Structures are given as C-alpha cells and as structure tokens.
C-alpha cells in the first residue's frame, strides 16, 4: 500500500505563508491526495484534495508535483487557528479500505 511521509513538526509566523510537504513516492495512478487537519482532542477536518492538477479553495491550496510523488499544502496567510496536526492521506478512487494516514505534521504558529 502506498504510504505518505511528512515532517514531524513545523513552525511558522502568524500572517506568513506556510508550505507543508508530503512525499508519496509509491502513489498509484488512481490515488487521490487528501489533506485533513486535527485540533487537540477533536476529530479531523477536511482541508483539500486533488488528483493531478493544483487545487485551490477558501482554506488552502494544494500543489501536486508533475510526477505526483510529492505534494505541498499551502496556507497563504497563517493564523493562530491554523495550529493543528496536518495529515496527508492517499485514497484510492474506488476502495474505502485503502485509507492510509501519514504521520502528520504538527504545525505551530508564532504570534
């Protein structure tokens, strides 16, 4: 099964952009890349997902490498509320069983 690799932790300043990397070198052609984030003692919250093209929504942007072996979640202007654990997840198009959570990156925001 394809796995993801993320840095354990990152730190950023408030109101600056944040780039959270994810490696998924064994990704298959039908795997979607999803990002979720989790605040302490809460359930994860969906952030964004994509397949091949870069994606934007009101929360973030997702940049996917041309070979799809890596991706980057971009928070354009970090706030204190963005401090959370961010998970990069691969999901197969047709199978719910292939849901593999990465180790997650704990993002801290300095005021």
Partner 1 sequence: DGGITQSPKYLFRKEGQNVTLSCEQNLNHDAMYWYRQDPGQGLRLIYYSQIVNDFQKGDIAEGYSVSREKKESFPLTVTSAQKNPTAFYLCASSSSAGGTDTQYFGPGTRLTVL
Residues of this chain that bind partner 1 (CB under 8 A) = 30-32, 36, 41-46, 49, 87, 91-97, 99, 101-104
Write down the least CB distance from residue 89 to partner 1, Å. 9
Please report, in angstroms and rounded to a whole number, the separation of the first and last CA atoms in the chain: 39
CA dihedral over 43, 44, 46, 49, signed as positive or negative: negative
Task: Name the residue nearer to partner 1 (CB basis): 66 or 95.
Answer: 95
Q: Tokens 């302490």, residue?
A: 40
* Gap between the Cα atoms of 33 and 29, Å rounded: 11
Write down the least CB distance from residue 27 to partner 1, Å. 12
Q: Tokens 């204190």, residue?
A: 80
Write down the least CB distance from residue 46 to partner 1, Å. 5
- Residue among 92, 69, 73 nearest 1 (CA): 92
Task: Name the residue nearer to partner 1 (CB basis): 2 or 17.
Answer: 2
Task: Name the residue nearer to partner 1 (CB basis): 72 or 103.
Answer: 103
Write down the least CB distance from residue 15 to partner 1, Å. 28
Task: Name the residue nearer to partner 1 (CB basis): 63 or 92.
Answer: 92
CB atoms closer than 10 angstroms to residue 82: 18
């Amino acid at each position: 099964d394809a796995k993801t690799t993320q840095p354990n932790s990152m730190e950023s300043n408030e109101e600056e952009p944040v780039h959270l990397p994810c490696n998924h070198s064994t990704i298959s052609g039908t795997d979607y890349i999803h990002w979720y984030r989790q605040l302490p003692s809460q359930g994860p919250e969906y952030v964004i997902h994509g397949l091949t093209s870069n994606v934007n929504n009101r929360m973030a942007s997702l940049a996917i490498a041309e070979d799809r072996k890596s991706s980057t979640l971009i928070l354009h202007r970090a706030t204190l509320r963005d401090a959370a654990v961010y998970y990069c997840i691969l999901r197969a198009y047709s199978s719910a069983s292939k849901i593999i959570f990465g180790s997650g990156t704990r993002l801290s925001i300095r005021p």
